Structure 1
């Protein structure tokens, strides 16, 4: 089975997912950043599918998944993944989440450890509410006439100046993802980030963990990655030269870090 599929969560939200790669390989789940969709992983998919059964999905409120009205919770975003694994009869999987996807990965490592083999947390944090004005961002996205200014802000946070200059095919692809994200979906996920603090709970994560951070990331800073790696027993830390969307900006190095971690002996 490959190509886009959908399933409906226990609370009635329709979620898009897709499976690629050999049926007999271990499953690697990829979870996207806020304001993107499963296509943010398109450039890494060919490398990952050589060795893994790749499971991608659109976070609720994003892409071709439904966008319920109101605040979402990290608990609900995590349960969406557990229910997706259940629907596909996948007992355990590796999990790679970037940014918001990294928050989801931390939740899974804490609250669904029996489902996670190895965990990769990229360009993420365990707590952002004290640093980002999420209520202001929720109001802004719900009242904006269009998403242009919001998309421009994301691009500045996600990519280095060299990539923002022409030609910028990749940046334009990601800008389109932001522009096509439903405002209420973005607002719902902002609320989830506003309301979560995992700084103490992540010490419970027992899965082998790789933390990847960007040396020039201005949102989920390198210090956030260092703090996560310090809190999780035996976690490995890899800081790469780059900003936020490292799977694109530093694709080869990113893929190498992921592959070497997943193939390493226990």
Structure 2
């Protein structure tokens, strides 16, 4: 049974309109997607939480139904936008599950709103800055080449999973984004550095990662676990960047158990 969904617009501090989607029932769980993606990033995974949680998503500025203002973007700004969304829904305390750049934004969210984030899940993400272990130069070169889409799919999923699930895939970026907005998102993700503030995170934290993630190498899960005091990590053997999709059954179960 598909959970009923309703939508509304929220206003960020700078009056940017943010498209918000709410569904399910129970305690509130905010889902934050990856770079240059809108709420459809969660389409396959979101139903796993519908029976136990009210899930909230919103389209980042520059994506989906949200405004696309000029100026620089940052992961801290995305976190501030998330606070504005939760304010618009009159939600006080909530859980957060952020993946990839959404995990970077979730780090800031737990820092700037410590009394509101109850539990935190960080997936396939990094602390950013000089301490993070980034993708190789070869991967960067391939992502800027003529076969970038094919490369990105392979970074997300194993060949075996692709063969059984031919797509379409909802984790490859918002196809309707402007080139300017894509650059703003890339700059926000590349500029992320929460290393110094990570020890301030008070929320119990679950860190999830795929063992074969070349997009954000798995060593970053250890780095995060070492900086966030109330945390533990779980690695999904053989999974790549989109572990939450490919290893969905076990990954969603781990998140539900942690949140419970």
Could you tell me the TM-score, scaled by structure 1's length?
A: 0.85
| Offset, 1:95 | 0.3
Structure number with higher helix proportion: 1
Offset of 1:4 from its aligned partner?
2.8
* Match of residue 55 from structure 1: 56
1:174 deviates by 3.7
CA contact (8 A) 1:229 1:237 kept: yes
* Alignment gaps of 5+ in structure 2: none
Name the counterpart of 1:73: 74
Unaligned runs of 5+ in 1: none
Q: Report how far residue 167 of structure 1 moved.
A: 5.4
Confirm or deny that 1:9 pairs with 2:8.
no
RMSD (Å), alpha carbons: 2.5
1:237 counterpart SS class: strand
Report how many aligned residue pairs link the two structures. Answer: 250
Q: 1:154 to 1:234 in 2, by over 3 A?
A: same
TM-score with structure 2 length normalisation?
A: 0.87
* Cα pair distance change 1:186/1:68, threshold 3 Å: same
Q: Once the 2 structures are TM-superposed, how far is the Cα of residue 163 of structure 1 from its aligned partner?
A: 3.5
Q: Does 1:245 align with 2:242?
A: yes
Task: Give yes or no for the alignment of 1:225 onto 2:228.
Answer: no
Q: What is the CA deviation profile of residues 117-156 of structure 1, one whole-angstrom value per residue up to 9, with x for unaligned ones?
A: 000000000115774699xx8xx99xx9xxx854334223
SS of structure 1 residue aligned to 2:221: helix
SS in 1 for 2:115: helix
Pair 1:71–1:133, CA change in 2 (3 A): farther
* Structure-2 change in CA distance of 1:128 and 1:190 (3 Å): farther
Shift of 1:186: 1.8
Tell me how far 1:63 sits from its aligned partner: 2.0
Shift of 1:157: 2.1
Partner SS state of residue 113, structure 1: coil
Pair 1:149–1:62, CA change in 2 (3 A) = farther
Alignment of 1:196-215 (within 5 A): 196-215=192-211
